[in-house]
């Protein structure tokens, strides 16, 4: 919205902005915010930032000192439509509180370092990413979780029925139309707000899941910019749903027996005006260049380890199961939705040629997810990892229907969060290159996810266990 600090400050004055809101991404991927009365907001805030305790909500205290500052990035400014008073928001990077140097464990800074590392290798000038946004819209969700009361009650008119509309049957919601699609107007409202914020929306539609599963797709953009957009898109969707009296969730598997919510990420590299994922000689599969195939191989080689960052929740692995178009095996293919990497069949021109990595979900920090994929792909290029030698495909078949002998040769994604964390512990050297990700950050990430997520869930009785074992 702004190309200079002077223009941003002038906008505040000319448009009677009452508050300036600064938004920061914590390690877990959530937005935190701090608000400043506009009359007190000056040029100094863009130079020095606003100090905050990074150990409380952001999680920075687990890896480094907790004293940090939120430094607003002027080009990210947008009028925030979800406050009563006129409010201008900025997305922030986190810097050290004393020297104002980029904070090494700030996810946004890590993403920028990954891009800088790619440029320094000379492989490409830009990494283009395009996440898909899958989410559920529910009428109400109540959770009770205590030693003597464990219950989840989910309500959604698309399956419960409202007495006026036939409910959507299980896993039959794909591209449903109104009146069965109850949330088309909600998605449209979110799309228009995002368009006004400068985010181009390709389309939106109802997804496969019957209980309010939706999808919004955007165009590809540069890595850090797209990560900023992803945070903003989630923010808009959740707030639009809330003010319509609904709940929007990006949880990977909120409902048993229904399709889960992924974050499939389209990606390509360019160098100057050259689209380096495309090869017009037709010597390679799907017109992918040798460089693109090495990039694919890098993603698949490090796929198990990446899962600890791209799918860092116990719930992630309830989505990553066969039977729901979930990518549970590390291979690539053309237009095959059971593959970890799909090459879109419709992307045939040099400009369109890209790959889609399908395992991630939104429990990951989007800055870290995109940076991790880029680092794995770059490692594949630099190491010249070969897809055929590693049995990464292409396989244009439904793996679930193949023989055990065929399946045994294909590497699966981890089946649990603990398995993924073990894989990351054994394979993270590719993230350390160029000092992109601090090793202390990886160690803290693994310990946090093991203790606060995997082990915490593992010791709690599951409601279904009462059906299985109460009468033993």
Specify whether the CB–CB gap between 302 and 427 falls below 8 A.
yes
> Is 47 among the residues known to form the active site?
no
Among the options 106, 132, 158, 181, which is catalytic?
Answer: 132
User: In sequence order, what DSSP letters do the residues of 96-135 get, joined into one string?
Assistant: ETTT-PBPTT-HHHHHHHHHHHHHHHTS-SEEEEEEEEEE
Q: Is the dihedral of CA 262, 239, 211, 415 positive or negative?
A: positive
Angle at 244 between CA 234 and CA 177, to 5 degrees: 80
What is the DSSP track for 34-52? EEEEGGG--HHHHHH-EEE
The catalytic position among 158, 207, 228, 379 is 207
Q: Name the catalytic one among 33, 202, 242, 337.
A: 337
Catalytic residue among 45, 108, 264, 294: 264
Q: Is 356 a catalytic residue?
A: yes
Query: CB-based contacts of 318: which residues, under 8 Å, 6+ apart?
Result: 252, 253, 256, 260
Q: Which of 64, 80, 106, 134 is catalytic?
A: 134
The answer to whether residue 207 is catalytic is yes
Both tokens of residue 307? 């899962």
The yes-or-no answer on residue 405 being catalytic is no
Q: How far is CA 405 from the centre of its chain?
A: 34
Distance CA 344, CA 286 (A): 9
447 labelled catalytic = no
Q: Tell me, yes or no, if 43 is annotated catalytic.
A: no
3 state SS of 400: helix
337 is catalytic: yes
Catalytic one of 64, 181, 279, 356: 356
- Residue tagged active-site, from 43, 47, 53, 280: 53
State the Cα–Cα distance between residues 249 and 449, nearest whole angstrom: 21
Catalytic position from the list 104, 113, 319, 358: 358
Catalytic residue among 181, 215, 228, 361: 215
145 HSE (CA, 13 A, CB side): 9
Element (H, E) at 355: strand 355-357
- How many beta carbons lie within 10 A of that of residue 127, not counting itself? 26
Query: Catalytic residue positions?
Result: 53, 132, 134, 207, 215, 264, 337, 356, 358
């Amino acid at each position: 919205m702004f190309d200079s600090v002077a223009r941003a400050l002038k906008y505040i004055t000319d448009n009677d902005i009452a508050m300036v809101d600064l938004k920061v991404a914590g390690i877990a991927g959530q937005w935190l915010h701090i608000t400043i009365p506009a009359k007190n907001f000056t040029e100094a805030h863009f130079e020095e930032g606003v100090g905050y305790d990074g150990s409380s909500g952001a999680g920075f205290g687990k890896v480094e000192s907790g004293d940090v500052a939120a430094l607003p990035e002027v080009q990210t400014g947008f009028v925030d439509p979800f406050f009563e008073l006129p409010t201008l928001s900025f997305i922030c990077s986190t810097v050290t509180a004393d020297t104002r140097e980029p904070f090494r464990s700030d996810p946004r800074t890590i993403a920028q370092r990954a891009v800088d590392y790619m440029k320094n290798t000379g492989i490409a000038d830009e990494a283009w990413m395009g996440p898909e946004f899958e989410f559920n819209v529910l009428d109400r969700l109540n959770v009770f979780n205590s030693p003597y009361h464990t219950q989840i009650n989910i309500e959604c008119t698309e399956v419960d029925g409202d007495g006026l509309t036939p409910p959507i049957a299980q896993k039959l919601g794909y591209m449903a139309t109104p009146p069965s699609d109850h949330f088309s107007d909600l998605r449209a409202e979110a799309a228009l707000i995002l368009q006004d914020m400068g985010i181009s929306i390709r389309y939106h539609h109802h997804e496969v899941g019957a209980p309010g599963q939706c999808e919004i797709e955007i165009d590809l953009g540069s890595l850090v910019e797209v990560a900023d957009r992803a945070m903003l898109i989630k923010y808009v969707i959740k707030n639009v749903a809330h003010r319509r009296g609904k709940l929007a969730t990006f949880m990977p598997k909120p409902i048993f027996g229904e399709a889960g919510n992924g974050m499939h990420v389209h990606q390509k590299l360019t160098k100057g005006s050259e689209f380096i994922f495309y090869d017009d000689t037709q010597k390679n599969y799907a017109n992918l260049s040798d460089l693109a195939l090495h990039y694919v191989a890098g993603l698949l080689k490090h796929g198990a380890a990446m899962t600890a960052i791209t799918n860092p929740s116990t719930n992630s692995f309830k989505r990553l199961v066969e039977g729901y178009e979930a990518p549970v095996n590390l291979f690539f293919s053309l237009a095959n939705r059971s593959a970890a990497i799909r090459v879109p069949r419709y992307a045939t021109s040099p400009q369109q040629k890209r790959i889609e990595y399908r395992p991630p979900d939104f429990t990951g920090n989007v800055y870290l997810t995109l940076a991790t994929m880029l680092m794995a792909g770059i490692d594949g290029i630099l190491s010249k990892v070969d897809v055929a030698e590693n049995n990464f495909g292409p396989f244009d078949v439904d793996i679930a229907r193949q023989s055990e002998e065929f399946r045994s040769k294909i590497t699966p994604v981890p089946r649990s969060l603990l398995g993924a964390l073990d894989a990351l512990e054994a394979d993270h050297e590719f993230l350390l290159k160029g000092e992109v990700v601090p090793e202390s950050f990886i160690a803290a990430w693994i310990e946090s996810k093991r203790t606060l997520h995997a082990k915490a869930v593992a010791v709690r009785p599951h409601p279904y266990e009462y059906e299985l074992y109460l009468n033993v």
